[in-house]
Amino acid sequence: MDELRKSFHHDIEDVRTELVHMAAFVTEAIPRATAVLLNGDLEGADQIINGDDEIDARALELEDQCIQILALQAPVAGDLRQIVAALKMVAEVERSADLVCNICKAARRIYGHSLDPTLRGIITRMGEQAQQLYIAAIESFVENDAAKAAAIDDMDNYLDALQKQFVQAIFESHAAGRIDLQVAVQLAVVARFYERIGDHAVNIGERVRFVVTGWLPEHRGAARFRSRADDSTEMTRPPSLGSSD
């Protein structure tokens, strides 16, 4: 029994290590994509886009590994949370890698257009902040640090603010005739990509908190929903269903 558990914990450790590797890969890709975008580096864009296949393959493999552990070892309590959280987190990381690719694809579409220093400056900051979020997510995961994981949410507020500021700067640049509509739309989408990468980092942080404490922020909303449902038990039908009269 002892021997079995040892190899089981070894398996969980493997899952964690691989997850950290993949997340580090994404963390590294964020500044690369920013450089691709700002320098119009088409070759670099191809490299990152091709590199995504590796992340997809590794994500699938890791998922299989997790499912196998669930099926064969039937983990409980903390171990179960680890594996279930890993299953969720691998999807977050994989999606983030896709978003990094999307930034590179946008870089291809705006190739040859020059951008205002203000726009370039905010892009640089968004890239840096998105990377900071990811670094914090990895560190909180490696250290099982729920407090650090909780801080990621606050860091994300700054990234959201940058996105709003960026959209404003796009309007100004377009109004002054320095970028055309096509580029403006592409840039707005790019800002969204960075913002989404940040959100995925926040989700990873939430999963880390779940592993450590068993609590998720969604529990708050779920509790509200339940209390509303309890209040309305006298109602004859659920309010969300459409009525015919």
Partner 1 sequence: MDVFVLLAGCAVGVIATLVAVKVLESRRASPTLGGEHASDVSSEQSLAASQARAHRLQGALDAMPYGVMVADQNGQVLLRNKAADTAGSDAHNEVLVQAAVQYNLRSALRGEARTQTVELYGPPKRVVVVEAHPLDPDGAMVTVEDVTERFRLDAVRTDFVANISHELKTPIGALAVLAETLIDETDPAVVRRLADRTVNEAHRVAKMIDDLLELSRIELSGDLIVSSCDVGLLVVEAASRNSLLARQNKVAVDAGDIDVGLSINADHAQITSALGNLVDNAVKYSDANGVVKVTAHLDQQGVTFVVSDNGIGIPSHDLDRIFERFYRVDRARSRGTGGTGLGLSIVRHVANNHGGSITVESHEGEGSTFRLYIPERLVPQT
- The answer to whether 40 touches 56, Cβ cutoff 8 Å, is no
Number of CB atoms found within 10 A of residue 120's CB: 14
Minimum distance from residue 11 beta carbon to partner 1 (Å): 18
For partner 1, the binding residues (CB under 8 A) are 20-21, 23-25, 27-28, 31-32, 35, 38, 116-122, 124-125, 128, 134-135, 138-139, 142, 169
For partner 1, the closer CB: 73 or 126? 126
Q: Name which of 80 and 165 has its Cβ closer to partner 1.
A: 165
CB of 131 to partner 1, least distance (A): 8
Q: How far is the CB of 21 from partner 1 (least distance, A)?
A: 6
Which of 146-169 are b and which e, b meaning 16 or more Cβ less than 10 Å from the residue's Cβ? bebbbebbebbeebeebbeebeeb
Pair 45, 106: CB distance under 8 Å: no
When computed from its CA atoms, the radius of gyration of the chain, rounded to whole angstroms, is: 22
- Minimum gap (Å) between residue 217 Cβ and partner 1: 25
Comparing CB distances to partner 1, the nearer of 31 and 217 is: 31
Instruction: Give me the least distance between CB of 91 and partner 1, in Å please.
Output: 19
Q: How many CB atoms lie within 10 A of CB 20?
A: 15
* Beta carbon nearer to partner 1, 17 or 232: 17
Q: Which is nearer to partner 1, 140 or 186 (CB)?
A: 140
CB of 214 to partner 1, least distance (A): 25
| Of 126, 92, 83, residue with least CA distance to 23 | 92
21 vs 220, beta carbon nearer partner 1: 21
**Integer CA distances (angstroms), 71 to 2, 66, 68, 76, 151, in order:** 19, 9, 5, 12, 34
Query: Minimal distance in Å, beta carbon 134 to partner 1?
Result: 8
- Nearer to partner 1 (CB atom), residue 44 or residue 217: 44
Place of tokens 């914990």: 9
